[in-house]
Amino acid sequence: MDIDVRGPRFGAAVTTVVLALVLITGSAWLLAWQTLAFALGAAGGVGRSPYGWVFRTAVRPRIGAPAEFEAPQPPRFAQAVGLVFAVTGLIGYTLGPEWLGLAATGAALAAAFLNAVFGYCLGCEVYLLARRVAVRVQ
């Protein structure tokens, strides 16, 4: 079943704020929260993430029915990519080196910002490219 395109974009906006706060404060705990959010989104789909739940229960009823839908697999893959960067960042912030935490968090922030502001999901594009390549190889 396809999903409302506004849901992942809302999640990316919240993620952008959270990751910016991580870079400003250096809080490993806040990055751990975002890592959990990515893990839930990767495991259960964006609708199962905390931000997806907030969108579904508090935002979507107020903004009306969606005009556009998308397949759930690309945003779910993007959550998995975000999870990899968040785990890497968490390792950097907790075990060192700190520059690893900063770099990984910054990369995740850049991807979330692209989706939130421009609607360009970098992880989704990687997923779609990989599928096109896999089809050509077969």
pLDDT digits (tens, 9 = 90+) for 18-37: 999 999 999 999 999 999 99
pLDDT for residue 135: 87
pTM summary value: 0.94
pLDDT digits (tens, 9 = 90+) for 35-90: 999 999 999 999 999 999 999 999 999 999 999 999 999 999 999 999 999 999 99
Over residues 121-135, the mean pLDDT reads 94
pLDDT for residue 136: 86
Given a cut of 90, is residue 122 above it in pLDDT? yes
Report the candidate in 21, 30, 121, 22 with the shortest Cα–Cα distance to residue 79: 121
Q: What torsion, rounded to 10 degrees, do the Cα atoms 10, 123, 97, 51 define?
A: 20
Instruction: Please state, in angstroms and rounded to a whole number, the distance separating the CA atoms of residues 38 and 84.
Output: 9
pLDDT for residue 85: 98
pLDDT for residue 117: 98
Instruction: Please state, in angstroms and rounded to a whole number, the distance separating the CA atoms of residues 130 and 127.
Output: 5
Phi, psi of 63 (to 5 degrees): -105, -5
Given a cut of 90, is residue 138 above it in pLDDT? no
Instruction: Please state, in angstroms and rounded to a whole number, the distance separating the CA atoms of residues 82 and 21.
Output: 16
pLDDT digits (tens, 9 = 90+) for 91-104: 999 999 999 999 99
